[in-house]
Amino acid sequence: MINPEIIVALDVPNKKLMEQTLDRMPNSIKWYKIGLELFCSEGPEILTSLKNREKSIFLDLKLHDIPRTVSNAVKTASEHGVDLMTVHAIGGRAMLEEAALAAKSCSAPPKIVAVTTLTSLNEKDFNDLGLFRSVEEQVVALGELAIQSGIDGLVTSAHEAKTLRSAFPNSILVTPGIRMPSGDIGDQKRVATPSYAVEQGSTYLVVGRPIVQSDNPEQAARLIISDMNRTLDK
């Protein structure tokens, strides 16, 4: 069985709040996600702050640009100690291949995972975008494209993870949209509990607001980990 890990999403607006959040987290949590808000606020220097704490960095910028630009961005991210990062699968085969090759050329290669479908989208949103596949069909099609292009894994909701784990047994599966049963889903439309995501085969579970916005982030993190372990202990 895969031994999944939690990634805490540092969805805060500045370094000060990030440091305050980190100070309140269990030392056992290794992985943290830096997204667009914090990266745009503080720049690449924010990555150094995490590395100084000896943490692993998931840089979630969802790169989607021409192949050369994405390739250079991957190399630059590697120089800042990024361990895992995202690209958009819908960027196409050439972009995905260049991203994969760029990562492999780095002295400390980051793993690349492709976003197939945002967890904030459902089939009604697909219709608005002129996409007439089901969510699962889109996820599988783009997942296959990404893995064929040399990408290390996929970002997927827990609801498609089982299908992707079956199709790509050796790939990394990163699952956002994790909520406890009583939690507020916010702007997410396809959420799941930690134990469900583990059952479906997710490698990493990304948890943001339920921990970061909690009055007691350490306790919230421990509850998430405890729920994950319910599946692992079976």
For residues 179-217, b (16+ Cβ closer than 10 Å) or e, as one string?
bbeebeeeebbbbbbbbbbbbbbbbbbbbbbbbbebeeb
- Of 140, 138, 194, 208, the C-alpha closest to 171 is 140
CA distance 69 to 99: 9
Single-letter amino acid, residue 30: K
Q: What residues have CB less than 8 Å from 96, skipping those under 6 apart?
A: 87, 89, 114, 145, 146, 149, 150, 151
d(CA 232, CA 144): 28
Q: Which residues are catalytic?
A: 62
Question: Alpha helix locations (H) across the chain?
Answer: 15-23, 36-42, 45-52, 67-79, 93-104, 123-128, 135-148, 158-167, 194-200, 209-212, 217-232
